[in-house]
Amino acid sequence: MRIYLEIARLAIHQQLAYRAATLAGLFTNSVFGVILGSVMLGFYGSVEGDCVNGWSPDDAITLIWINQSLLVVMYLWGWWDVSRTIQTGAIASDFLRPISWYGLWLSRDFGRALPAIFLRMVPTLAIGWLLFDISLPATPARGLWFLIAVILGVWVSFSIRLLSNLLAFWLIDHRGLAAVWLTLTTFLSGMAMPIAFFPEPLRTIAELLPFQAVLMSPINTWLGKGDPLLIIAVQMIWIVALVILCSIALKRGERRLVVQGG
């Protein structure tokens, strides 16, 4: 266990080194928070009454800003580190390490995500609160559930990413896949609007996919929508299911792996 904590600690140090990038990232998140938040309020301005499919304007604005704040924490997009090791063959030496291959990447990813919670999530939420008056968790318990759902969301996100990275065993060039992936995950995770706005059957499909366990789960705990225990349980089920899928993909992929070198 100590070795994994050490890997995570190194990843944290790596993150803390980029201060200018953090500020630039906060700026970007805020710009998009303002744009998407204004569009959302603009739409709400056109309806009589307050709620749309159970979502008040405050809820929807809060969703927009939580999504912006979790963008880097979850890192659903543009993470192809593992597929790169498959392409270069470096994965072979990763397998030779005396530690678990899965544990290596998981601890690296938590080392990446944990500083992002303090450096990106918290400040972005604060900016959203200042500029758009987003609603805060109504009770301390909700805040706590939110934190748990964020941590589990990172794990779900990591598992989804790992699985898609392992596709590199079968594909030579992942860039096309990456673009499709980026779009579908963005859409199905509830990035632009709550999944509750989707028309049927899209809504049911989105609810049955793991992407909602990345962003919607923390958001729902924050806003007090649904039973937090159930939300957390669903996240855990996804983690287990994805770990199993990843290990199947890894076993099959290993057999295909050809490392050239000399």
Partner 1 sequence: MDWQQELGLTWRIAKLRIAAQMQFQGSFLMQLFGNSIMTIMEIVTVVIFFQQFPALGGWTLDEVLLLYAMCAIAFEIADTMQNGLDLVPEQVRTGDFDRLLTRPISVYLQAITLDISVRHIGKTILAFGLFCWAWLRLDLALTSETLLLLTSAWICGIALFIAIFTLGAIVSFWTVGSIEVVNAISYGGSDLAQYPIHIYRRWFRTIFIWLIPIGFVIYYPTLIILDKPDPLGFAPIAPAIGPLLTIAFVALVSLLWRQGVNHYHSTGS
Contacts with partner 1, residue ranges (CB under 8 A)? 18, 20-21, 24-25, 27-28, 31-32, 34-35, 38-39, 41-47, 52-53, 173, 175-180, 182-184, 186-187, 192-193, 197-199
- Rg of the chain taking only CA atoms, in angstroms: 19
CA nearest neighbour of 220 among 232, 204, 237: 232
> Least distance from C-beta 132 to partner 1, angstroms?
10
Residue number with CB closer to partner 1 (47 or 141)? 47
Residue number with CB closer to partner 1 (148 or 192)? 192
Residue number with CB closer to partner 1 (38 or 100)? 38
Residue number with CB closer to partner 1 (4 or 187)? 187
> Least distance from C-beta 257 to partner 1, angstroms?
21
> Least distance from C-beta 19 to partner 1, angstroms?
9
> Least distance from C-beta 236 to partner 1, angstroms?
29
Residue number with CB closer to partner 1 (45 or 201)? 45
Strand partners, 52: 55
Residue number with CB closer to partner 1 (17 or 258)? 17
> Least distance from C-beta 247 to partner 1, angstroms?
27
> Least distance from C-beta 177 to partner 1, angstroms?
7
